Amino acid sequence: MDWSDGANYFLLKSVQQCGLDFAKVAKRMDKSASVFLSNEQPRDFGEKSCSLQYNFLMATYRQKTDTASLVKDDSALLSSAIDFYTNLRRNHLIAKRDEYQQIIE
């Protein structure tokens, strides 16, 4: 499961908006990818792919964080995972910005 941090972020936000209706999630992912992930390698954002990636992300996030064991509510866990991937995405964008600034200086 080698989705980018940005794709993972948009997947989690789509699930937050649409619930576990992966037909709707897949449509949102296609739209988000065409706008916000256009510079990344094209990826399959079909229902099955989104479902598998979501389950992978949530299982991985539960294992990585100590607080996940304390969170019983799936929506709270989802919000926590979104915050985590938001920070990863932000750090990636900051690193890219710094890289470009070094090039133009």
CA dist., res. 58 & res. 60, Å (int): 5
The pLDDT of residue 54 is: 96
CA dist., res. 2 & res. 29, Å (int): 16
| Angle at alpha carbon of residue 20, lines to 15 and 25, rounded to 5° | 50
Per-residue pLDDT of the chain (105 residues; tens, 9 = 90+): 688 888 999 999 999 999 999 999 999 999 988 888 877 776 789 999 999 999 999 988 888 776 555 566 778 888 888 998 899 889 988 998 999 999 987
The pLDDT of residue 35 is: 84
Q: Where are the extended beta strands (E) located within the chain? A: none
The pLDDT of residue 14 is: 96
CA neighbours closer than 13 Å in the CB half-sphere of residue 31: 8
Percent of the chain at pLDDT > 70 equals 90
The pLDDT of residue 19 is: 94
The pLDDT of residue 20 is: 94
pLDDT tens, position by position, 20-49: 999 999 999 999 888 888 777 767 899 999
